[in-house]
């Protein structure tokens, strides 16, 4: 993940998803269903076999970008353990009132555990001022 003050760019391999909250609404970065052109570009840019880096069923490299503007509140980067029990908007609604990013991350992880997630649970929340 690279943040340059105006754009958030994510290169992702594996079972992670990034969701941006803008004006209270969830926007997924780099949906796997919508990445054929970017995947081809990224495979040329990042040479090598993804399977040798990490053994994963979803080892395709997915690249996505979102603008960062005054309406951008935060971004969630979380593993499949979060997303198998929560929709994007549910996760945003759960933490949008929590100002501390660490507390927001812990809240998401605890909720996923309470919902009996079977996947690996890890997440990171980055707030924008």
Name 49's Cβ contacts closer than 8 Å, sequence gap at least 6: none
- What residue has token string 């803008």? 22
- What residue has token string 């040329």? 44
| Residue 102 C-alpha from the chain's centroid | 16
User: Could you give the domains of the chain?
Assistant: 2-127 (3.60.40.10)
**Predicted TM-score (pTM) of this structure:** 0.77
Q: How do the pLDDT tens digits run along the chain, 129 residues long? A: 666 678 888 887 778 899 999 999 999 987 655 444 444 444 544 455 444 344 445 567 778 888 889 999 999 999 999 999 999 999 999 999 999 999 999 999 999 999 999 999 999 999 997
What 43-52 contacts at long range (C-beta under 8 Å, 24+ apart), as own/partner pairs, is: 46/11, 50/13
What is the C-alpha to C-alpha distance for residues 13 and 63, in angstroms, rounded to an integer?
9
């Amino acid at each position: 993940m690279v943040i340059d003050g105006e754009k958030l760019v994510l290169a992702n391999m594996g079972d992670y998803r990034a969701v941006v909250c803008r004006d209270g609404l969830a926007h997924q970065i780099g949906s796997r269903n919508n990445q054929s052109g970017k995947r081809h570009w990224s495979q040329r840019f990042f040479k090598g076999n993804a399977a040798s880096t990490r053994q994963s069923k979803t080892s395709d490299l997915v690249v996505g970008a979102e603008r960062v503007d005054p309406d951008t509140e935060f971004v969630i980067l979380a593993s499949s353990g979060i997303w198998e029990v929560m929709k994007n908007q549910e996760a945003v609604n759960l933490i949008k009132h929590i100002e501390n990013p660490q507390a927001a991350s812990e809240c998401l992880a605890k909720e996923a555990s309470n919902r009996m997630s079977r996947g690996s649970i890890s997440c990171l929340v980055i707030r924008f001022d």
